[in-house]
Amino acid sequence: MRAHKKFGEILLQAGVISKPELESALAAQALSGLALGKILEDRGLISDRDVIAILSRQFRLPFLENLDEVSVSRAALRLVDCDTAVKLGVIPLGAGKTTVEIAISNPLDFHTLDRLAFKTGRHVRPVLATPAAILKAIKRLYMQEPRQDLPSETRLLILENQEQYRAPIYSALRQDGYFPLFADTVEEAVGIVHKDAPRLVLAATDMKMVGSRVVLDQLTRGRSDSALPVIALTSNQTAEEEAFLLRLGFFDVLHKPLNYIRLRARIERALRFFHQGATVDSVRSPGRPTSATINE
């Protein structure tokens, strides 16, 4: 809480927000548990770039605006695994014998900085970047691999913009031999469908401002009904919601938090039904997750 208060005071002193706006946002933060910056951004009071620019000036830390162009060594990426990067919202940039450079959006998050120092065994040197840029870098550096040599039957597309679900889905599917491709928006998902021809789509239907009918229509537009199975991922666990999604045309429905055993079975069932037995038994790793849920 101390870090959040300091962050708010910095924005207040910089004249970005007023005292009543800060007090209202802090009250909302106490109720929701969301980051203060996220609340202010959702209210249209600041942008993530505004926040990073202010923090950069305040603490004299570098602000990396061209994270898309940065290359990172495998040695640096191994210091922070994909699950940790997603959960903490960080990306390693480089490492020496005693230090590691980490892109982070909140330099006042001392708990995360201490955790990274303990995990890597190195002194952490923070570099500031926006949350959106960090998430995009995580997708590029951890979740995207060269595609030309990948069997087409291993490609699955996940349309999901909630960070807490992305890393567990990625880890579970990669352990089972699949290659997950991620999209944050329907538009990005449509582009991946046309470019990479995934065999199946797992599509969140609880994204803000996007209805489930729009999600399905956009993903299947211009394709025959039998060409691409789309499985809905929903936080609404009512029978009415499941019936509604099935009537819309989704092949199947899975409820969040996702059960790994059920997820694997539904994927294999859809691939057998649509692609004549196209599963990844030949490339699946022998290990099996023992936990029933993949979102903890």
- Kindly report, residue by residue over 245-291, the tens digit of the pLDDT: 999 899 999 998 888 888 889 998 888 888 765 555 444 443 333 33
Do 91 and 158 lie in one domain? The reply is no
In this prediction, residue 148 carries a pLDDT of 45
Is residue 278 classed as helix, strand or coil in its secondary structure?
A: coil
How far apart CA 135 and CA 84 sit, in angstroms, is 12
Cα separation of 288 and 196, whole Å?
27
Determine the pLDDT at residue 180.
86
Residue 8 has pLDDT above 60, yes or no: yes
Supply the CATH number for residue 112's domain.
3.30.300.160
Q: Is residue 152 part of a domain?
A: yes
240, part of any domain: yes
Q: For residues 269 and 200, state if they share a domain.
A: yes
Do the Cβ atoms of 183 and 158 come closer than 8 Å?
Answer: yes
Assess whether 18 and 129 both reside in one domain: no
- In terms of domains, do 130 and 159 share one? no
- Residue range of the domain that includes 123: 67-137
Coil, helix or strand for 80? Answer: coil
Q: What are phi and psi of 92, to 5 degrees?
A: -70, 140
Q: What is the pLDDT of residue 14?
A: 78
Tokens representing residue 253 in the block: 């429905």
Residue 19: other Cβ atoms inside 10 A: 9
